[in-house]
Amino acid sequence: MDYDALVVGRGIGGMESALKLGDMGYRVLVVEKEASVGGRMVLLSKVFPTLDCASCIATPKMAATAHHPNVTVLTDSEVEAVSSDGGGRFLVRVHTRPRFVDLAACTGCRQCEQACTVAVPDEWNGEMVSRRAAYIAYPQAIPQKALIERRGTSPCTDACPAGIRAHGYVSLVRSGLYEEAFQLLLEATPLAATLGAACYAPCETVCTRGELEGPVAIRRLKRFVAERHYATADGPGVTPGEPNGRRVAIVGSGPAGLTAAWQLARAGYGVRVFEAGPEPGGFLRQAIPAYRLPAELLDQDVANVTALGVEITTNSPIADVAALKVEGYDAVLLATGTPESRPLGIPGEDLEGVQAGVAFLRDVRAGHPPDLAGKRVVVVGGGNVAMDSARTAIRLGASETRVAYRRGREEMPAHRAELNDALTEGADLELLVAPVQVIGDADRRVAALRCRRIELGEPDDTGRRRPVPVPGSEFDIECDVVIAAVGLTTAVETFAGALLGAPPAGPVDERTLQSVIPWLFAAGDLVTGPSDIARAVGQGRQAAQAIDRWLCGERRGLATVPDPLGVVDRAEVLARQKSHSRRESGLRPVNVTPRPRDFDQLEPPIGEEDARAAAGRCLDCGVCSECGQCLPACPANAIDLSMRGNDRSLEVGAVVLATGYRIFPADLKPQYGHGRFANVITGLQMERLLAPTRPYTSVLRPSDGKIPMRIAYVMCTGSRDESVGNPLCSKFCCMYSLKQNQLIMGVLRFAEVTVHYIDIRAVGKGYEEFFEQSKGMGVNFVKGRVAEIRETPEANLILRYEDVDHGTLAEAEYDLVVLAVGVQPNQDLGQLLAAQGVAFDDRAYVDEVDEDYRPTATSVPGIFVAGALSGPRDIPESILHAGAAAIQVAAHLESLKAPA
């Protein structure tokens, strides 16, 4: 048996049972789902009727529980299964969530909390103030250690093939930490501005805000931080790693090659990049039109790489990779992409006026555009190169630009924005056609493109419907120029075909990107086939890690692609709020106009104010944004984002259920306006305002921070109320309200306090005297229910109420209203317990089946209940009840020892 007893719940009842059993010598495990032991009592201001400090009573018990030699406490943990072994013992499974903080190392200094960029409502302070995603629950929490609330990986971060922590930099921009955001981007790639301008932003496709009025402009924020950095800083602000004596050659300076070079240089490798073209950038410079990616942005990104000492040798096509090895490079990475267009494969392709798409784009970017003025252009293909070719042709003055594609519009692989922009600029679509011949004139110049109509058949291997030619449907599109953009291919045969095989299914290991020759690696489109910039960046990171591991046997400080937690459910994110206000991005839209004639960048830059506002639309899906600010802030290096949860299977001799009660959700009485009127608060919120560790400066109005002079209490909110299905008295609301009345009159000496009540239930030692004392202090008592609460323009509150003593209906105006909310049964473990045969009473409290003779015993031998889980109890009663449970457990445990 692992433990004699399992106590579920760490409130005053759970702690009392655990301590009593521990004192008796039994080994006890306390499982608590929250981050601290202590329950609600520690959050109270004082206890009634003695007005002793609640924390002063609770915290010694908390400390005793945490440090008792016979008591083990598991916080952040939940019991997921309980089953009887048939012999009076129980098998339990406990799941512990990760805190992402090493408890042994954390000193509780709260530096992580100060650095954290995500603000969420502080549930420990009645959601009247913020806390951070990295936090310590409250000042008296035990353990006094931080934890990080991570609900999963945010969809944007999860969707980024480059492994960029998108949520992280959005959060940093929102906080005005622009340089930190830039540095977070640099952890993944030096191509911050490039991605900010030209990435297709899969992050935005999955952004939860897209379910509302539109996604956060994640990509444009990236461009903002990059441009801001480049405008103010000299160099990337990153120093290369200590040289490790290893050299790596990288062939190709596209996104994969540059990213790998950056990562390896940061880790101390000597890196040289060989670029066949006259300038670095590969496909980025040669084929992406300037209106999407201006050369200056790319130049700034490339300068990040060279700033770390990476040498880029241009005009250097590599024909023999083995020679690089002979030259002394320890590893070679091929990242040459897919620089060639696939041919159309039809007669007439050699006519003058037929051009490959990539070659066409390359000529234009190199400053050698063909003369298309007044010419009719047909672009064959439906991908992004086809769209770029069409839009470029329009800019060069083509009189007519048609895009011929063999499937329908929905099947076009081009990014939707690219397609739509092409159409806006004046491209026409010729869908469901396949070229069969380029027709030439007498001078062998293009005169027309002969096409055949297509019907779509059954889906092929890619899931898209297969194009089926329609016999006899040939027709000619008269044109002067045909641009072939039907796919891209590698140029690998020029240097390494024998080594790599036929891409994209080349024989490199998917994980390590290592070829059959150990020193030779490959990454990017060369491996995957044509993809996009972000995927190529991700491949570059992956290759750098693999090379580092192969050469040095371990990770040497390389920024690794994060190991995702599992993406958070977007529906769950939206459900965290009762309502979402509409919040437009406010950014100027991309300036796409018909028939453009220049290559100026279309997307306008965004300013600081717009950027922060755009970032402010983020919903913080994962809660923690993974911005990483807590990591350097922690002086103890205690943050560990790789931490994961664990499950324990244990055998115990008895179970004590002590999960307490639930507070009635006051918004279920909409006529009282809680959640709508700022100055209607609950009794628990008032407890926090009165506590020494209060969220406000004093007892203040939430609407405007003013001191309330007229305060009303509305008793029996959610209890003794059939309209909300709870006819039971919650037993302690009267007394905690009286206590608060007295405390308020001590704090706000000129305040008037009025209690609207049905009757005051002051049943307990000293309780009636406490009531009389409240009256004596000047608290007004008005007998009768409150019908409704209205709000004035000044955020004051009009109570319409029944005055039973005077037989009238009346109204009164107050500055602040406190709803004395009742309690409900806690059904967190309901299904689990019901499956074990634990009985509940008709109000869903755990049933003590023989309350007179065996109090705390449930319907299942060996399972006991302590405190308010079996019915409303105040603190002294809960402690007594928990003590009784401990004795019952002891008797049960001893019975297990007795001979049969």
Partner 1 sequence: MSRDIREVVRDEPLMRDRLLELLADGPLTVPELAAAAHMPASEVMVWLMGMRKYGYVFEEKGPGRLFEYRYSAVKRP
Which positions touch partner 1 (CB under 8 A)? 113-114, 117-121, 127-130, 132, 171, 174-176, 576-581, 612-613, 615-616, 618-620, 675-676, 678, 695-698, 700, 702-707, 709, 750, 795
Helix (H) or strand (E) holding 740: helix 733-747
C-alpha pair distances (Å), 558 with each of 251, 330, 546 = 21, 18, 10
User: 731 forms bridges with which residues in the sheet?
Assistant: none
Whether 386 contacts 357, CB under 8 Å: yes
Q: Which is nearer to partner 1, 668 or 707 (CB)?
A: 707
In the complex with partner 1, the residue whose CB is nearer, 172 or 523, is 172
Which of 738, 689, 743, 677 minimizes the C-alpha distance to 713?
A: 738
> Tokens for 506?
């080349």
CB closer to partner 1 out of 612 and 790:
612
Between 623 and 865, CB nearer to partner 1: 623
CB of 119 to partner 1, least distance (A): 4
Residue with tokens 């302590």: 866
- The nearest distance, CB 632 to partner 1, in angstroms, is 17
What's the min distance (Å) between Cβ of 745 and partner 1? 16
With respect to partner 1, which residue has the nearer C-beta, 429 or 615? Answer: 615
Closer residue to partner 1 (CB): 120 or 728: 120
Cα separation, 865 vs 856, in Å, equals 5
106 versus 619: smaller Cβ distance to partner 1: 619
Toward partner 1, which CB reaches closer, 276 or 690?
Answer: 690
Count of Cβ atoms closer than 10 Å to residue 898 Cβ:
6
793 CB-contact burial (10 Å; exposed 0-12 / middle 13-18 / buried 19+): exposed
**Shortest gap between Cβ of 780 and partner 1 (angstroms)?**
20
Contacts of 285 (CB under 8 A, 6+ apart): 277, 279, 295, 298, 365
What are the structure tokens assigned to 611, written together? 């950027």
Segment 535-538 long-range contacts (CB within 8 Å, at least 24 positions apart) = 535/161, 535/162, 536/254, 536/255, 536/256, 536/259, 536/335, 536/337, 537/161, 537/162, 537/164, 537/188, 537/189, 537/191, 537/195, 537/255, 537/256, 537/259, 538/160, 538/161, 538/162, 538/163
Select 113 or 211, whichever has its Cβ closest to partner 1. 113
How many beta carbons lie within 10 A of that of residue 210, not counting itself?
14
Closest separation between CB of residue 122 and partner 1, Å?
A: 8
For partner 1, the closer CB: 176 or 459: 176
196 touches 224 (CB < 8 A): yes
Smallest gap, in angstroms, from Cβ of residue 142 to partner 1? Answer: 20
Contact 515, 414 (CB under 8 A): no
Q: How far is the CB of 180 from partner 1 (least distance, A)?
A: 12
3-state secondary structure 348-417: CCCCECEEEHHHHHHHHHCCCCCCCCCCEEEEECCCHHHHHHHHHHHHCCCCEEEEEECCCHHHCCCCHH
Nearer to partner 1, 247 or 617 (CB): 617
Check residue 569 and report its DSSP letter: P
Residue with smaller CB distance to partner 1, 129 or 417: 129
CB of 695 to partner 1, least distance (A): 6
CA 95 – CA 84 distance, rounded (Å): 18
| 344 HSE (CA, 13 A, CB side) | 29
Whether the Cβ atoms of residue 329 and residue 245 lie closer than 8 Å to each other: no
Q: Distance from CA of residue 484 to its chain's centroid?
A: 42
Give the integer Cα–Cα distance in Å for 775 and 841: 37
Give least dist CB 203 to partner 1, A. Answer: 19
Question: What is the rounded CA–CA span in Å between residue 418 and residue 440?
Answer: 31
Nearest distance from residue 705's CB to partner 1, in Å?
3
Residue 133 CB, shortest distance to partner 1, in Å, is: 11
Q: How far apart are CA 592 and CA 426, in angstroms?
A: 10
- Cβ proximity to partner 1, 751 vs 829, nearer residue: 751
For the CB of residue 11, give the shortest distance to partner 1 in the complex, in Å.
25
Q: Which is nearer to partner 1, 149 or 279 (CB)?
A: 149
Tokens 């909300």 identify what position?
A: 724
Minimum CB separation of residue 596 from partner 1 in Å reads: 36
Q: At what angle do helices 384-395 and 416-425 cross, to 10 degrees?
A: 20
Q: What type of residue sits at position 640? A: D
DSSP one-letter code for 308: T
d(CA 655, CA 168) in angstroms, rounded, equals: 43
Closest separation between CB of residue 224 and partner 1, Å?
A: 15
Residues 6+ apart with CB under 8 A from 794: none
* Terminal CA-CA length for the chain: 18
Query: Based on CB atoms, which residue is closest to partner 1, 559 or 568?
Result: 568
CB of 679 to partner 1, least distance (A): 9
Distances from the Cα of 679 to the Cαs of 180, 355, 705, 706, 828, in angstroms? 39, 71, 10, 11, 30
Question: How many Å separate Cα 308 from the centre of its chain?
Answer: 32
Q: What does the alpha-carbon distance between residue 288 and residue 82 come to, in Å, rounded to a whole number?
A: 61
Q: Which is nearer to partner 1, 615 or 819 (CB)?
A: 615
State the nearest-atom distance from the C-beta of 128 to partner 1, in Å: 7
In the complex with partner 1, which residue's Cβ is closer, 348 or 695?
Answer: 695
**C-beta of 127: minimal distance to partner 1 in Å?**
5
C-beta of 232 vs 581, nearer to partner 1 = 581
Task: For residues 262 and 242, give the distance between their C-alpha atoms in angstroms, rounded to a whole number.
Answer: 14
